[in-house]
Chain A
Amino acid sequence: MTKTVSSETTIATELSIEFESDPKLVAGALGQIIDGLSELDMSADQSGALELVLAEVVNNVIEHAYSEEAGHPVAIDVRGAPNRLSCRVTDAGKAMPTERLPKGVLHDLNVELDELPEGGFGWFLIGELTENIRYKRIDGKNHLSFSMSLEKQSF
């Protein structure tokens, strides 16, 4: 007697894009990623969260790794399985000051008006919306990888 095994089909979407370190090119690049993942049927919340996290990571790359110099390569790789997105952002700029990622801490907002923070939200948002975040410096390149669950409402 033959046993019938129902094999679970895994649909994986893989996407790789590369663009130059110019703030004006970021929105288009992120739009390409979101469009390319349309078959994953992400909710508006999930695609909003992905777009925000990628924007924060890429803005950091342009501002810090490339010191706001245009014309350098930024690469984004996304692998989407039904329940999970794995992303990697790669650049050839300066290394992060420490191997440890900046800890995103929310400032105390119970302060005088002129002491309210105008920045520093980026790493906090990245930390809130991602899992398994890792930074590696390999062969003169920065690799930042993270994953996002597509199961729970993460955003």
Chain B
Amino acid sequence: MELISRDHGAACVVTVDGTRIDASVAIQFKDQMKEIAETGQERVILDLSNVEFIDSSGLGAVVATMKLMGKDRKLDLAGLTPMVEKVFKLTRMDSVFNIFPDMATANV
């Protein structure tokens, strides 16, 4: 799993090059997201459309990223596949993030 980031106006778009965010990559995901978040864009949009599977450690890594971005900046999510969407719904984390169906509706 690799993260690819590109700036898009005032936002940074992060694409996941990999189909799983699980326990074997959660720390790597968190570290790479931290590096990206430190570049200081006000809004980071995580495009999850390639991710077919996420477990609780992957979910924890996404939440950790949002926390380290602080109150003045935003981590938004886009393109959740059905499995990933269900994990967010079951844990009610869908109420914590702005979630967009795809990158077009994320207003990039």
Instruction: Please report A residues at the B interface, Cβ cutoff 8 Å.
Output: 23-24, 26-27, 44-45, 48, 51-52, 55-56, 59, 62-63, 106, 109, 113-114, 116-122, 124-125, 128-129, 155
Contacts and interface: CB of A to CB of B under 8 A. Distances in A.
B27 to A, nearest CB: 10
A23 B95 CA distance: 30
9 contacts: A24-B24, A26-B23, A48-B82, A48-B86, A59-B56, A109-B93, A116-B66, A118-B61, A121-B59
B80 to A, nearest CB: 13
Q: Select the residue from B71, B87, B91 with max chain A CB neighbours within 10 A.
A: B91
Contacts of B66: 113, 116
B74 to A, nearest CB: 11
Contacts of A106: 91-92
Interface residues on B, range: 20 to 34
Nearest to B83: A48
B70 interface: yes
B24 A23 contact: yes
A150 B20 CA distance: 24
Interface of B: 20, 22-24, 53, 55-57, 59-61, 63-64, 66-67, 70-71, 82-83, 86-87, 90-93, 95-96
Contact of B20 (A27, A44, A125): A27
Contacts of A116: 63, 66-67, 96
A44 B85 CA distance: 13
Contacts of A48: 53, 82-83, 86
A129 B59 CA distance: 17
A91 to B, nearest CB: 15
B55 A55 contact: yes
B91 A125 contact: yes
Given A116-B63, A116-B66, A27 B91 contact: no
